Amino acid sequence: MGEIVLGMWTSHGPTLSTDPEQWTLRVTADKKRQHPFRGGIYDFDSLVSLRADEELAEKCALDARKQRHAGCQAAIAEMAERFAAAKPDVAIIMGNDQRELFLDDVTPAITVFMGDTIWDQPASPQQAARMPPGIHEAEWGHSPPERREYPACPELAEHLVKSVVSEGFDVAVSRKLPEPPGHWSSGVPHAFGFIYRQIMRDSVIPNVPVIFNTFFPPNQPTAARCFAFGQAVGRALKSTFKDKRIAVFGSGGMSHFVIDEQLDERIFDALRNRDQRALASIDEALLQSGSSELKTWIAAAGVLFDSGLKGDVVGYEPCYRSEAGTGTANGFVAWQ
């Protein structure tokens, strides 16, 4: 059977691929949104009032942003070094889609990519023009400078699909990515492109993208379902790919677009303690908006809790960009 030699959980958002001075480009959008936070829904000004005692103006000042940015870059470098040292042969990557692949015509809850290759490229000028401020600026961090094709692993993908379907998971499958022109995005979603560019450092090993709909109601899989799915994937990995070294990734999170450090610490504690109940019982109201991406971490935990790997937090930086607490908490965990 295959051996899981590496488990990684990582954030993948634009604060990791933009300068601290650019983080505030997103504040205009923050001020227009209604934000889920600790079970409620708030506008920007309400969040400023609600969190007035947290000294967020200081935490989002430029000097603080620079410090957080440096911490993120150090953590990414450490994750990349650990990946290279582990020398895995194949990877399973749990990530999410944000209307990069699936549009309003169909939105599967969980999709396994079964194609031979995965491609990515920069956005076209037309696509870039549709992006909100602060998003196109981060593109280099998850898309290559020109079209590239990366190796997928259709044999393993097919085995995973057959195995999880036999356990009652009705997953969707995809054998190719939508091509421009006209599509909102180009190539693989950024949850996966970030891994290829910044953790694998463009030396992409054969991999199976598992794509979760964490963002868009009404068919988001619950935290409990994500963990159970990860367990099923773990069982499938034990019965195939003899002598292969396997890496498992959860790509997403942490709390955003409003940072909730309490929620992030709950996730870290659950990983440290291999606490399935703590992960599977997180209220769905807490896992909305960008924080919903933590479900990819929960799915990866479902695979990794049964492994013999051990590890802890490589880095954690709550990257605030406004006095309302908007921003992205960036976290990095490695098990070896």
* pTM for the full predicted model: 0.97
**Cα–Cα distance measured from residue 32 to residue 27, given in angstroms and rounded to the nearest whole number:** 9
pLDDT attached to residue 158 = 97
Q: What would the DSSP string read from start to end of 9-69?
A: EE---GGGSS-GGGGGGGHHHHHHS-EEETTEEE-HHHHHHHTGGG-HHHHTSHHHHHHHH
pLDDT attached to residue 194 = 98
pLDDT attached to residue 324 = 98
- For residue range 249-283, what is the model confidence (pLDDT) as tens digits? 999 999 999 999 999 999 999 999 999 999 999 99
DSSP 324: T
- Average pLDDT for runs of 10 along the chain of length 336: 93 97 96 96 98 97 98 98 98 96 94 97 88 89 96 97 98 93 86 98 98 97 98 92 90 98 98 98 97 98 97 98 98 98
Distances (CA, A) of 59 to 108, 221, 305, 311: 38, 34, 34, 29
The pair of three-digit structure tokens given for residue 310, joined into one six-digit string: 């051990």
pLDDT attached to residue 260 = 98
pLDDT attached to residue 131 = 85
CATH of the domain at 151: 3.40.830.10
The pair of three-digit structure tokens given for residue 12, joined into one six-digit string: 């993948």
- Mean pLDDT score across all residues of the chain: 96
Q: What range defines the domain where residue 262 resides?
A: 3-335
pLDDT attached to residue 291 = 98
Q: What would the DSSP string read from start to end of 181-218?
A: SS-SS-BS-HHHHHIIIIISTT-PPPEEEEEE--SSTT
Report which residue type is found at 83. F
Look at residues 230, 226, 111 and name the one whose alpha carbon lies nearest to residue 175.
Answer: 111
pLDDT attached to residue 102 = 93
What is the tally of structural domains in the chain?
1
Count CB atoms within 10 A of the CB of residue 204.
21
pLDDT attached to residue 240 = 76
